[in-house]
Amino acid sequence: MVEKMKKNSGFTLVELIVAVALFAIVIGPLFQAFSSSIKANSRARGVLKATQLAQSVMDNVERSNVKELRDDMVFATLGANLLPPGISNASVTATRTTVNTDECIIKFVNVLYQDLSLNIEIDLKKDSSAVANPNTGNKYFMYVADVYVHMNKGAGASTPFSNEYLVHLRGSVPNIK
């Protein structure tokens, strides 16, 4: 009597290795594309949050007047007046460097806004054109306000601002002399 051999319907080790290799070749680029899209999405969210913050700061700057921003405002209240609610870092420091009477730079270092650590720089420069008010004779000057929002890369306090910024907005601040 001849014994019949049983047929195995399973996979051999070689077939399994080939299948895994093909799976890895197909899935590898898909995983890399997925990973890249997650990074791009995260960066876009950061830019969106920085843009919202810059817009809030610009709105507050435009509501101010130049005299408040340059001369009278105490640094302790500067953050409360220019930074929007939602800034949860209590150690915000502002430094103001007056280059001349027509320029002013206000910096906020280590601002924690939502889950981002940011630096904010506000540059005020006097516009060269002045318009005289015919009724009072006062000259009406406009100041150009630039708001830059930088990512805080953990640099030292002496150089916390990089040349690369996330957001740059330009607005104007009126001043009457």
pLDDT of residue 154: 60
Pull the structure tokens for residue 145: 């306000």
Q: What single string gives the DSSP state of each residue in 92-117? A: -EEEEEEEETTEEEEEEEEEEETTEE
Average pLDDT, the chain: 76
Q: Distance between CA 17 and CA 10 in Å, rounded? A: 14
Q: Which helix (H) or strand (E) holds 118?
A: strand 116-132
Q: What would the pLDDT profile of 16-36 be if each residue is shown by its tens digit?
A: 999 999 999 999 999 999 999
The predicted model scores a pTM of 0.67
pLDDT at residue 77 tops 70: no
Q: Distance between CA 12 and CA 9 in Å, rounded? A: 9
Q: Which helix (H) or strand (E) holds 4?
A: none
Q: What would the pLDDT profile of 111-151 be if each residue is shown by its tens digit?
A: 888 888 888 888 877 776 656 666 666 666 677 888 888 88
